[in-house]
Structure 1
Amino acid sequence: MTATAPLTTSTRPSAVRLGLRANLAQFALLVAVNALVGGMLGQERTVLPLLADRTFHLSAYTAALTYIVAFGATKAVTNFFAGALSDQYGRKPVLVAGWLLALPVPLLLIWAPTWGWVVFANVLLGVNQGLTWSTTVIMKIDLVGPARRGLAMGFNEAAGYLAVAATAMGTGAIAAHWGLRPQPFLLGIAYAALGLGLSVLAVRETREHARAEAALHPAPANPGHHGALTTGQVARTTSLTDRALSSASWAGMVNNLNDALAWGVFPLLFAAHGLSVARIGLLAALYPAVWGLGQILTGWWSDRIGRKHLITAGMLVQAVAIGLVAAGTTFPVWALAQVLLGAGTALVYPTLLAVIGDVAHPAWRARAVGVYRLWRDGGFAVGALLAGALADAYGVTTAIWTVAALTAVAGVVVAVRMYETRPRRAEPDGV
């Protein structure tokens, strides 16, 4: 990589147009790339919890969930650096680097002789997801400008999580027919190769779009924020001092804490009640499918009615859904719970990213996205450790109820502390 000038508000590139219509081809390509990013995660959602139980015979929940801890911790840290690196070197080099690191992941999962190999594969997967998903988020925000941030994030997250759902269902069906390894992970090999090829050959750099927006809007979104913040100041503002940014960071962390529960604990709970691998795969797919489809609507909706109330409602719906999983014992009840969990997450996920885009000035927005995603994806590690420890000590039902309570608390925090961030008069983008 060759370092280039960092993003500043003083640079105003010519011949750069903001807006969804003006950048539709690249936007659509980035949607497709993020679907492949989601597919890399989806290859694990059904199969890995069952591998831990049936192939590696890990009886303790804490031990079985170490791969989620490894994934979440590395993804969270990588998210932070992805924003700063994309400002310094450009978005495309960071995206390509993320795909290069994805190539060995499915091979390690196929050949892993011990659980340590699986954990190492998830370290690489966490770095891959942090670099690629963060960068596609930043690039879409760059392209569309201020008027369609919610819609852009809806499409981005919908593509990623619909791919998670489709791949989780596909790998579940493959595993039910051919076994847990190696066939389910052949999808991951194809995703990594295609994602790398598209990123190298077809994706174009978008940092100039952020510079153009910064030049057109030198005043920061929040009057208390100036455009020339250091990375440390960005981290402090996003994590602590700004009520909207910090509330979004907390809600994002709790959201992915309960996603870690859904990923690592729910399949084991369903298996303990005698569900088949195919039915577990269906439940594992139902939640991200509703989540993914719903985000197309909720991202657009947040552009119309605002962010705060959708986030509050989404966290509370998630809490109800998680409690329903704890209370349920049958496939229909769990299917309803997965639908509700997906709906609640759809209300929250793109809207939180839109909050970051609303408040953060273009000059430091990529770094703010990185800090937010540091907190949000740190929830994977926190959730896996908390759920595993509680499940081992008090039983899996207690662990699930605890996460439901934390999710409800997060909704209350947003309701009390966050201010509304949707721009009052969003500028037209030609759509």
Structure 2
Amino acid sequence: MRRLAKQTRDDAYGSKRDYQDLHRVRSVRISPGATPENRVTFTSEAVVGVEGLSIASFGAYIAAEAPIELTAHLSCGATTLDAVFNLSVDFTRVGHAFLTDERGPIYVDLSWFGPYALNMWGLDIGPAAIPDGLTPRDVLAGAGRSIVPETYYLDHGTALNADLEPSTTSTVTEEGDWLDLKKCSYCGRLLPVDMKKPGSLAFHKHNAKRTLHQNECRACKKWRINDNFNPSRTVDQHHESSVITRERRIFLQESSILQEIKKRTGEGLKSQVWERFGRRCFNCRRSLSLNQVQLDHTRPLAYLWPIDEHATCLCAECNNNKKDRFPVDYYSDSQLRDLSHICGLPYENLIEKRVNLEQLDKIIGDIAKYAATWEPRTFFSIARKVEEIHPDVKLGELLWQESPELYDDLHARAAAVRMMVDD
């Protein structure tokens, strides 16, 4: 039952968009023994202590037939460590580790009481792979159970990547529950997701993604993105990153406006707009720190208007209330005249309800490309917004005329996402 897997790490961001594909797999089932106390022991051929101080680690994703306590006894030579995990009928992340300079194999002994079977996926044991720039102590100090076991960079792409010891009292069969795997866009590992409870396993939740999960696993999100970039990024850089991500998803190109503004002025757009609006929310007039500012597109992104120098400074509450409404549907006439004076958009532009025709023409001119790249709900949302202003422009019909196959695929993907959420 053991399958050997080569452990590799690659810090380059994945270029192929296969990290939102799901791979259906079946876990192994560990049946209880004849006595109330159940025990299963695994070991790995991987040896720790080869290069001095290292992390002996294990990790798995386990579900039980009923809520139980699982005790994990991790050992290497004379060094041992116990941990207790509360399991439920849903798959739970399980893992633990300790520093050691002993050289030898690692053993994991799992025990629980009661006539309950376990469903297990991705059990792996071995020395943890340390992200570049970190020490073993850094990983142990910053891991916590929120990113265990992903943070040890073990291989969780197979049901069992460890050897079953003869002392085991339980029976292991290939008849466990089904679950889904998704590829991390950074480390390339196939790791589990729970479509019934998005965000509960190896990836954080992300409603805008096709699988309802982020592209990168929890560990890569922490060690390779947040901890590497966030401390050194300014408020403007954080804002630019989020804007670029949103607009790339819709316009399928990088935002050139943000870079042009920075080249002309040397400051980021968020700082400029904040100063232009007197460091206050335009709508409620509350004083704001730069961290509290939320830039509104003024003309809604939902109607294909990108962010630009005419953005409005709002607080979080006002920005959430405005959502994708046109200025004329949210502000009073006197506010619209003040907004025109501050942001530089003519009053006539602020009172009209209009789709960005330049961007709409690009979409219509290459509708197959947009339909194949967009998430289904993005396509249907934009199609509704466009038809609301231009009843004669029906993106769905245009796509069907261009490619009936893509049209059918778009509806099939939308139905699949609805089924995942409903289940």
The TM-score range, normalised by the shorter chain, is under 0.3
Given the two structures, how large is their TM-score scaled by the length of structure 2? 0.21
Structure 1 or 2, whichever has the larger Rg, is 2
- Structure with greater proportional helix content: 1
Given the two structures, how large is their TM-score scaled by the length of structure 1? 0.21
- Structure with greater proportional strand content: 2
Higher relative contact order (CA 8 A, sep 6+): 1
